[in-house]
Amino acid sequence: MEWSDLQVFLAAVRAGSYTAAGRQLGINRTTVGRRVDALEAALGIALFEEGPLGPAPNRAGKRLLAAAEVMEREVARMRSDLSLPNLPQGPVRVAGSGGIVSEFLPEFAEFRRRHPEVSIELLGELDPIDAVTYRRADLAIALVRKPPLRLWGVELATLAQAPYARRHGTAQPAQLGWGFELDAALPGSQWTASNPAGEAAEKAGLTTFNAWPQMKQAVLAGLGSATLWCFAADAEPDLKRLAPPDPRHACPLWLLHRAKAPPSPNLAALIAFLTDAIKSRVTGLPTR
């Protein structure tokens, strides 16, 4: 059994597919499959089983995964002690509900200053839970009441929403709404109900948006009023709050990753950093 084969196995489990693992490792998916096959042949056992969301480690695969992670940490510690460069791990792919990930660009910038060796890919996904579940993303910044059992993570805070308009705009600004695309991507989300959405917004003749950054910028530009996340809107001097937050539209904010795919060292470092940094941002409390 070769350590290099274990590295490929770790990448395949974490990335969720041979293709994604190949991109991280700089090899093609066929080579990833061949290396995993060689590992199974050396051990004389299968390491994966077919699940409802695709291949996943079986009992033997989970045991090998735990051992491989211990070896990975020891190798990383050895390389650090010898001042050797870290091995490439590929970018950490991040998605956020309705594009809210864009609100935390300063936190990502600070993380990159502290960890320049870790590359990050911010995705344009509207539903981060779907993106992580189907392995298009590694980390979700998700606005959800309760995450599905297939995902693990940490609840950061409960975010409040209130209606806002431009401070020196018109006396009665037009209502803005969510578009069909966001309404379809996040059906039944209580937080999206804070603004008219989809067919209701169309029938009312509203200007609509399919992502958080565009909605916030539209209110800042004086295009109309909308219910926004208070932690972000209150920080904008050009916005004024029109009414108190409605508790019906409050929603927990989570960091989530796949339960059956233990985070890589880069992903674990990002989760640890964002847990403190985003909590500080949305609650106003200092980091540890």
Give the domain CATH number at 10: 1.10.10.10
Q: Using the predicted structure, report yes or no on whether residue 199 has a pLDDT greater than 80.
A: yes
pLDDT, mean of residues 5-15? 86
Gap between the Cα atoms of 180 and 206, Å rounded: 12
Identify the domain containing residue 113 by its residue range.
92-158+251-283
The span from the first CA to the last CA of the chain, in angstroms, equals 42
Confidence tier at 245 by pLDDT (50, 70, 90): very high
Tens digits of residue pLDDT in 147-168: 998 999 999 999 999 999 999 9
Q: Using the predicted structure, report yes or no on whether residue 288 has a pLDDT greater than 60.
A: no
Give the domain CATH number at 119: 3.40.190.10
Is 104 a domain residue? yes
Give the domain CATH number at 229: 3.40.190
Tens digits of residue pLDDT in 58-117: 899 889 988 888 888 888 788 777 777 766 667 899 999 999 999 999 999 999 999 998
Confidence tier at 175 by pLDDT (50, 70, 90): very high
Is 97 a domain residue? yes
Residues 152 and 261 in one domain: yes
pLDDT, mean of residues 169-174? 90
Residues 63 and 177 in one domain: no
Domains contained in the chain, number: 3
